[in-house]
Amino acid sequence: MKYVDEYRNQESAQRLAEAIRRITTKPWSIMEVCGGQTHSIVKYGIDELLPPQITLLHGPGCPVCVTPLELIDKALQIAARPEVIFCSFGDMLRVPGSGGDLFSVKAKGADVRIVYSPLDAVKVARENPQREVVFFAVGFETTAPANAMAVFQAQAQKLPNFSVLVSHVLVPPAIEAILSAPDNRTQGFLAAGHVCTVMGFEEYLPLAKKFRVPIVVTGFEPLDILQGILMCVEQLEHGRAEVENQYARSVQREGNRPARELMAKVFRVVHRKWRGVGEIPQSGFGLREAFAAFDAEKRFGLVDYSVEEDSECISGQVLRGVKKPHECPAFGTRCTPERPLGATMVSSEGACAAYYLYRRHAETSRVAEGARQGAENA
Ligand code: SF4
């Protein structure tokens, strides 16, 4: 396969779905970790192609969704300062904090700028030596190398006016927390292919062994996901609990070594709070002491700030696969993408936004319908 369309081929999707149907004899709950996978599943109706015994649970892998409320509030406070140019990826601007979002701060006159790379923020700092330039460094292991590079470059260029507000989170501790929870329903995982492209998959081996769960590193296109599910169900049906790599065209066992070395230079592993979930030990990156001068929380005196989350939003349960978005009483009524109550309704990778966007309760998706018709005609 050379082109993206081949990963969306309907006949191949039907064959994979049929293979899953053939081997499934028991009910299984499988979690796709990444929000990008969730969107593919809902958009293409992949779950509607599966036999009724297979339940897909949507996991915590949306970086915007899990950035804790207090980090959003810190961003709002920093961005509102007159000396600050606050740089961020666009999808963070609409995430609600406890008193508005970055768009509303910008509307009141703050200098909030959307950038496409953290290195753009370094450039802004170089061009504005009289201003404080802060970059909102959020994300999973996927975005960490570029953010590490920005801090590294700022230090090399001796930029005293650059800092980062860091909220990096890590996938393996989140999987461990999900599997350790008393209400856990997940029996197998589709691990996020892009995270593993950076980190490899060796750190998943002890998790598969300890919790006796299959973990299949999986891509994002419909055929990737169906193949990942097939590999996972094969393991579950045969009582195996191994780490397998469906996304071999991108992922190697040891990941991207230079990227990991750069991250290890700049970041250290810290306890991190996840929005809607709470603190997970050793689940994030923070700056190493050698780079503490670039820590925006320290620079603006916000290290000890904390805040309670909205009790109406059940995104914590959605992110742990305990509830589906439409089971939230506010879904589609008090909470919509235009007026979100929680971050999972904001992000392009959020499960609530995916359910809302693709109107899955009103319509059967085109792909699923086509596949069904194809199966009936066969
Ligand atoms: S629908 Fe809105 S309120 Fe409900 S869990 Fe999703 S983001 Fe939170």
Q: Is the pLDDT of residue 190 over 50?
A: yes
pLDDT of residue 378: 43
Q: How far apart are CA 79 and CA 251, in angstroms?
A: 37
- What is the share, in percent, of the chain residues with pLDDT greater than 90? 70
* Lowest-pLDDT range of 118-122, 124-128, 351-355: 351-355
**100 against 304, higher pLDDT:** 100
Mean pLDDT of the chain: 90
pLDDT of residue 277: 81
| 24 CB near ligand 1 (under 6 Å) | no
340 CA → ligand 1 middle, Å: 7
| 325 CB near ligand 1 (under 6 Å) | yes
| 342 CB near ligand 1 (under 6 Å) | yes
**Other C-beta atoms lying within 10 Å of the C-beta of residue 339:** 9
**329 against 4, higher pLDDT:** 329
**Which of 251-255, 313-317, 322-326 has the largest mean confidence?**
251-255
**370 against 118, higher pLDDT:** 118
**110 φ/ψ sector (left φ>0, alpha ψ -120 to 50, else beta):** beta
Q: Is the pLDDT of residue 363 over 50?
A: no
pLDDT of residue 126: 97
* E strands in 242-335: 243-245, 267-274, 278-287
Q: Closest residue (by CA) to atom 8 of ligand 1?
A: 313
Q: Is the pLDDT of residue 372 over 70?
A: no
- Locate 235 and state its tokens: 């393991």
**pLDDT, average across residues 45-54:** 94
Q: Closest residue (by CA) to atom 6 of ligand 1?
A: 352
Most informative mutation of 67, 317, 323, 344 for ligand 1 (most atoms within 8 A of CB): 344
Most informative mutation of 309, 320, 331 for ligand 1 (most atoms within 8 A of CB): 331
| 187 CB near ligand 1 (under 6 Å) | no
| 355 CB near ligand 1 (under 6 Å) | no
Q: Closest residue (by CA) to atom 7 of ligand 1?
A: 342
pLDDT of residue 162: 98
Phi, psi angles (nearest 5°) of residue 184: -60, 135
Q: How far apart are CA 136 and CA 167, in angstroms?
A: 8
Q: Is the pLDDT of residue 221 over 90?
A: yes
pLDDT of residue 366: 43
Q: Closest residue (by CA) to atom 3 of ligand 1?
A: 313
Asked whether 217 and 251 are in contact (CB, 8 A), the reply is yes
N-terminal to C-terminal alpha carbon distance within the chain: 25
pLDDT tens digit sequence for 264-293:
999 999 999 888 788 999 999 999 999 999
pLDDT of residue 51: 97
* Lowest-pLDDT range of 27-31, 83-87, 111-115, 306-310: 306-310
SS3 category, 271: strand
- Locate 181 and state its tokens: 């929870």
SS3 category, 217: strand
Q: Is the pLDDT of residue 166 over 60?
A: yes
- Locate 78 and state its tokens: 């920093």
pLDDT of residue 27: 97
Beta strands 132-139; 84-88: pairing state: parallel
- Locate 344 and state its tokens: 């999972």
Q: Is the pLDDT of residue 371 over 80?
A: no
**Element containing residue 26 per DSSP (H, E):** none
**pLDDT, average across residues 47-69:** 91
Q: Is the pLDDT of residue 133 over 90?
A: yes
| 346 CB near ligand 1 (under 6 Å) | no
Angle at 90 between CA 360 and CA 339, to 5 degrees: 50
pLDDT of residue 367: 42
pTM (two decimals): 0.87
The ligand 1 atom at the shortest distance from the C-alpha of residue 312 is: 3
pLDDT of residue 61: 82
pLDDT of residue 95: 87
Q: Is the pLDDT of residue 143 over 50?
A: yes
| 173 CB near ligand 1 (under 6 Å) | no
Q: How far apart are CA 46 and CA 26, in angstroms?
A: 19
Residue 2's pLDDT band (boundaries 50, 70, 90)? low
